[in-house]
């Protein structure tokens, strides 16, 4: 069953990545990136990395994608055409959702011992340490500098986007004021 789920969500991940490249509107690309990040979270969950799966959902599919969407809207990427919906979404999306729900329902109905799930054993000297302990040791001891540099780079990117939007907004506002006089 794990192999079937792996291929299913790997397919979702690849389809979302290809759709990300095919989209012409940045908001649609951001939505495709959310599909990719959520599929990766399920793959992490299949590998037994529960914390990474939840962090993937919360940090990437949640916070970072909200920031991407905010920056795209802040930069005024243009107006979107109003349509009744995508033909590809109607032809592929609905059946894909039905298949996904059927697979998940089958897994839940056939699964035995869901309540006995436990965290994997770590590689530390303590046999009771969990994946979370191992991850925190690696993240905050061995990879502390890259972790902090990444957060600073994200902050610089956000501030740069706000500065660009503010400068372009003041130029547009100034030209409108002179046109009104």
Q: What is the pLDDT of residues 74-115, one digit of tens each?
A: 766 556 566 666 666 667 777 877 787 777 777 767 765 544
**Residue among 92, 102, 98 nearest 4 (CA):** 102
Q: What is the pTM of this model?
A: 0.51
Whole-number Cα distances in Å, 171 to 167, 168, 176: 6, 5, 9
HSE-up of residue 69 (Cα within 13 Å, Cβ side): 14
Between 1.20.120.1200, 2.40.50.140, 1.10.10.10, 3.40.50.2300, what CATH number should domain 1-78+85-112 receive? 1.20.120.1200
Q: Where are the domains of the chain?
A: 1-78+85-112, 130-181
Q: What is the pLDDT of residues 118-165, one digit of tens each?
A: 444 444 455 566 677 777 788 788 888 887 888 888 888 888 878 887
């Amino acid at each position: 069953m794990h192999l079937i789920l792996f291929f299913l969500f790997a397919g979702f991940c690849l389809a979302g990545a290809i759709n990300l490249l095919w989209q012409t509107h940045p908001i649609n690309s951001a939505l495709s990136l959310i599909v990719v990040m959520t599929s990766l979270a399920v793959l992490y969950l299949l590998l037994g990395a529960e914390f990474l799966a939840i962090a993937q959902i919360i940090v990437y599919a949640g916070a970072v994608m909200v920031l991407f969407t905010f920056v795209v809207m802040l930069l005024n990427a243009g107006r979107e055409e109003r349509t009744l919906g995508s033909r590809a979404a109607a032809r592929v999306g609905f059946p894909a959702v039905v298949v996904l729900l059927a697979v998940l329902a089958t897994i839940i109905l056939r699964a035995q011992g869901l309540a006995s799930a436990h965290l994997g054993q770590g590689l530390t000297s303590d046999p009771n340490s969990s994946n979370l302990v191992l991850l925190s040791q690696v993240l905050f001891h061995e990879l502390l500098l890259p972790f902090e540099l990444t957060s600073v780079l994200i902050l610089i990117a956000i501030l740069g986007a706000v500065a660009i939007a503010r400068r372009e907004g003041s130029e547009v506002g100034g030209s409108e004021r002179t046109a009104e006089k």
